[in-house]
Structure 1
Amino acid sequence: MLISFCGARGGDAPLTWGQRSTRRWIDWLGPHEASLNVPYLLPVPAGSDDDVVREGLRRLVDRHEALRTTYPDGAQRVLRSGSLDVVTRTGDPEAVLAELAAERFRHDDGVPVRCAIVDGTAVALVTSHLSTDWSAMMTLAAEFPALVRGESLPEPTWHPLDQAAAEATPEAVRHNVEALAHWRSILERAPRSLLDFPERTPEPERFVRLGMDSPALAAAAPMLAERWGVSVGSLLATTAGVALATLGGHDTAALRVICGNRREAPLRGMVGKAAQDGLFAVDLAAPTLRGIVHDGHNAAKRAYRYGRYDPYELDALKGAVRHERGASLDLLAFFNDLRMGRSWSVPDADPAKTRFFVDFSTPRARARAFFTLEYAPDTCLLFVLADTAYLSRDTGWALLRAVEALVLRGVADGDVPASHIADTAGLEPVRRPAGWRRAGPDWYDPSAVADVLRIACRAADVTVDADLTAHLASDVDTPEAAHALVMGALAGRTDVLAPRRYILNGRRPASGRDPLDHDGP
């Protein structure tokens, strides 16, 4: 059944920074991918018939411009009026929700909402991620029962059109410059990937989401966070990063953290897309885990502070640093805290009750290791989406166990010496094949570098010195041209770095110094 909506305002504007971030992911995933849709089950207040529920949904769409927005040609267009099909269904609400979420939205001309009333007890609501993030969905869930009951609510004061205007102000431009400087400071020095070791044969469904259900971690994490003066989120994000860096044999843990970006008053209640990635990096130089976690807590605060930026400008920055470093900047390790400020109150729990399970698998994802922290009242739910070309299921579960083990040992002993982290975590660092070398923070395979040079530069004779100087016989005329060809060939590679110097046909550059020479981050 169609319901008609009519809002107070329509209009066009550029995409907000949050929308631009999501648009990039949607475009990368392809025209048929629906994994970024945002599904939610809204309970229907008892005694409400379907017509009353439809009226509540109409009021919800009228109130929030993001729910009646299309996204043509890289812009947002708020519809002043239109219609939404609200169907009635029977059966399992979760199954109906999954069915509605499995179809991609037509962003150019379709409303970004899909919903069904299921047996009069729940509304299966699915929105486009261009229009909502998890915080926005919580706002909708809080308002829906009151709207169904016919209650009056204060009108929203901030919408994506307002946010787009705010992001064009001088204050926002200054913040964007500061945020990009923060990203550059990490991109220049962090490992270009924490998983720079040889690929393995992936599983048929290449990406698998592994879960850990740990009442013990729910009891221990708040206790240790309070004792060490950090947040639970930064404690677990740092510990996950430490586990991943320990596995890969790195001295720095670099993760992308999902930032809700709802600190400022106008954005707190906005139904729209505000979340973006932040960049978190912590050096594992402190003598104990407590010191590393303290450093991680401060690093997390900086990451969240600078988690708002123009992603198109960040793309340009990444391209420049990628060229300077001669590396494909992988940075596909993530941590997302979805507890929404909720905290556990769990008594001491037995680690023997911890349960491990497979949540789902999928053939495509833009991640190598994606940790997600979810809330349940009586347990900690920690997941890792693992790229099985790099992490086996057993290794993925070992990473989850490592987080639990480090936190529990911190509670029991007060701290963990840095020299004991690998043993405490139960992690054995990856053993790379003989011949692999390290340049700054990065590992690479010299033979793979030589192969890339042969193919990209059509070189008949190639050698790569220990200092990443490449000698090649090729028709390529200049080091700059050789570097451009190599950079085009190593996208996504975690086993290859571009040479720091190119000596073509035995001739050094006339200046005596290759203009692409760099000393690493």
Structure 2
Amino acid sequence: MDRQVIPFSTGHAAEGPLIWAQVAIWDVFRWLPPGDTSLNLLVTCPVPPGRDLAGTRDALRRLVERHDSLHTVYADTPDGPRQRVVPEGEIPLWVYELDDLGDVGLDEAVAEFGEALRRPWFDIGADLPLRAAVLLRGGEPLTVLLAASHMAVDGWSLNIVRADLANLLADPPLVTEPGQQPLARGEYERSDIGRRREAKALAFWARHLETLPSSMLERVSDDPPNLDWGLIQSPALALAANALAARHGVPAATALLGGTTLQLAAYTGEDDAALRMIVSTRFRPASRGVVAAFNENALFRLPCPPDLRRTETLDAFLRRSADAALAAYAHCEYAPRALDTLIAEVAERRGITTDGYCFFNDTRFALLDAEAPAAVPQEDLAARIAELQPATKLRSPVIDRLPKHANFFMFLMDLGETAEIMLCVEHGFFGRRGPLGFLSDLERLIVRAALNESATTGSLYAAVR
């Protein structure tokens, strides 16, 4: 191993308040235990043949210089948290020659050195929020690893960064402009149009918070979080969700989102349920290329009262789910502390303690360019699902992570050939039923919907009640 640095210089220093989404992750950092590294992120990028180490280092330098968030520090001040763009400095770089390590395969090296790069804590007030490593074979670069603080990037940002680095490593690279920088985004949020958009979003949340079931808002207990974890890997669930998507013209993730919310209502004995979706707020042309912590919460609500459940067709249910998702996306740009204040006011009026929510996070940023699996003809679907169901894997992983204010937190990691979903549930939220039961029933619900074209919302609700 050789420890090096990537020097950079932009000649551009700047400072300003955090943007809305940065405040959200800043508050999560302040809630986590000191030194927690569970939110550090990692991405890999292959190096094309013919690139030498000097060229790879130069591509990394240009990458850092193109995106302010990769050379920014964050500090608390009497005026609130602020970000300071550092005009010059050095990003740490580790270089590993795999030929010096014996019989080590590339995948094994990426797993080992990637975790070593990701794991150490970032001091976001002093350290630049990026570390890099290059893996060589016979002196030729094979792969670049990048570890970043979640204070600087979200998952979608890593996809942008990876694509940008791949372009910079090309010979020759395409000439492109970097996306909007965070401080420029902040100017939009403080503008009249930004404030109007925020007011519209907060009004949307206020209407729904007044009438949501308290079980969607309150923590199970006042004790420290006690989370049970479950993981499902299911080809049958993936096939069923993608079959629903193809048949009804909605994204497969929307079918899963609607099914999850319906089952959440059934599990809690409610006629109404809601999920706080983690959403990348890149809706405007200017903000699509932002590299920053840029996620906010969107409220996906799906009332399913008995009268509606009895008659609503599956197609109508899925289209209502798609409409609810669009409404959520349209109302998720706001100052998060303003939402906290709003929630506190609603809680006081309703006489409840709001600190336990249900979350849904689609983390499939690495799969943005993947094609949807080939559709299976409806007449072959039942046999194909039956063939795949024995391959379902359920397990209870040990996870060192504490999602903030969560009774229920679902992570969608894959929905291609295999559905891979992680779920944590506050102990007791479902009574004696835990995350593995929920995930198993979710597979059953989505499969039932895919195989039974005459299914109603009520029949699906009853099947998992």
TM-score range with shorter-chain normalisation? 0.7 to 0.9
> Aligned AA for 1:100?
L
Within a 5 Å distance, the mapping from 1:103-502 to structure 2 comes to: 103-119=120-136, 120-149=141-170, 151-152=172-173, 153-194=175-216, 206-285=226-305, 286-287=308-309, 288=312, 290=314, 291-340=316-365, 341=368, 342=370, 344-346=372-374, 347=376, 348-349=384-385, 350-362=388-400, 364-366=402-404, 367-375=406-414, 377-390=416-429, 395-425=434-464, 427=465
Alpha carbons of 1:157 and 1:231: their partners in 2 closer, same or farther (altered >3 Å)?
closer
- What letter corresponds to residue 361 of structure 1 in structure 2? I
* 2:118 paired with 1:97: no
C-alpha change, 1:127 and 1:241, in structure 2 (3 Å) is same
Name the amino acid aligned to 1:345. P
Question: Taking structure 1 as reference, are residues 220 and 135 closer, same or farther at Cα in structure 2, changes over 3 Å only?
Answer: same
1:24 corresponds, among 4, 27, 43, to 27
* CA displacement at 1:393 relative to structure 2: 9.5
List 4+ stretches of structure 1 deviating above 6 A: 195-202
Contact 1:246 1:422 in 2 (8 A): yes
Aligned to 2:73: 70
SS of residue in 1 equivalent to 2:159: helix
Task: Report if the CA contact (8 A) 1:212-1:382 is conserved.
Answer: yes
Q: Which moved more, 1:17-26 or 1:267-276?
A: 267-276
Q: Quick one: structure 1 residues 195 and 9, their matched pair in 2 at CA, closer, same or farther if it must change by over 3 Å? A: closer
3-state DSSP of counterpart to 1:273: coil
Give the SS at the match of 1:109: coil
Q: Which runs of 5+ in 2 are unaligned?
A: 99-103, 377-383
Which has the larger helix fraction? 2
Question: Which protein shows a greater Rg?
Answer: 1
Q: Give the aligned partner of residue 379 of structure 2.
A: none
Q: How many residue pairs end up in the alignment? A: 424
8 Å Cα contact 1:194-1:245 kept in structure 2: no
Match for residue 500 of structure 1? none
Q: Secondary structure at the match of 1:87?
A: strand
Partner Cα distance (2:55, 2:219) in 1: 58
Relative to structure 2, which stretch is displaced further, 297-306 or 119-128?
119-128
Deviation at 1:409, TM superposition (A): 1.4
Shift of residue 413 of structure 1?
1.4
Native 8 Å contact 1:210 1:384 kept in 2: yes
Residue 432 of structure 1 corresponds to which residue in structure 2?
none
Q: Deviations over 1:311-348 (max 9, x none)?
A: 12111111111211111123421111233454531444
CA distance in 2 between partners of 1:174 and 1:198 (Å): 35
Change (3 A) 1:25 1:343: farther
Post-superposition shift, 1:177? 0.3
Q: Aligned with 1:328: secondary structure? A: coil
CA RMSD of aligned residues (A): 2.6
Matched residues in 2 for 1:101 and 1:35: separation? 9
Identity %: 28
Q: Is the 8 A contact 2:234 2:420 kept in 1?
A: yes
Q: Structure 1 80/217 Cα, relative in aligned 2: closer, same or farther at 3 Å?
A: same
Q: Deviations over 1:283-337 (max 9, x none)?
A: 1122246244333221211111111111121111111112111111234211112
Look up the SS of the partner of 2:434 in the other structure. helix
Structure 2 CA distance, aligned partners of 1:337 and 1:132? 16
Q: Aligned partners of 2:463, 2:9: CA distance in 1, in Å?
A: 59
Aligned amino acid, residue 414 of structure 1: E
**2-structure distance, mates of 1:257, 1:71:** 26
Structure 1 residues 114, 403: CA separation in 2 closer, same or farther (over 3 Å shift)? same
Per-residue CA shift, 1:92-151, capped at 9, x if unaligned? Answer: 222222222222211112211122223443222111112111111111111213323453
**Counterpart AA for 1:298:** D
Q: 1:208 deviation in Å?
A: 4.3
Partner Cα separation in structure 2 for residue 4 and residue 358 of structure 1? 44
In structure 1, what residue type is equivalent to 2:373?
Answer: S
Q: Which residue of 1 aligns with 2:381?
A: none
Distance in 2, matches of 1:149 and 1:414, equals 49
The amino acid of 2:424's aligned partner reads L
With a CA cutoff of 8 Å and minimum separation of 6, indicate the structure with the bigger relative contact order: 2
Give secondary structure in 2 for the equivalent of 1:193: helix
Q: In the aligned structure 1, how far is the partner of 2:407 from the partner of 2:393?
A: 23
SS across alignment from 2:214: coil
Q: CA deviation at 1:392?
A: 8.3
Q: Matches of 1:197 and 1:171 in 2, distance apart?
A: 35
Please report how far the alpha carbon of residue 272 of structure 1 lies from its aligned counterpart in structure 2 after TM superposition: 1.6
Q: How big is the shift at 1:231?
A: 2.7
Q: CA deviation at 1:237?
A: 1.0
Q: Secondary structure at the match of 1:307?
A: coil
Tell me the residue number matched to 1:84. Answer: 91
Query: In the alignment, is the contact (CA less than 8 A) between 2:279 and 2:297 conserved in 1?
Result: yes
Secondary structure at the counterpart of residue 361 of structure 1: coil
- Equivalent position SS for 1:26: helix
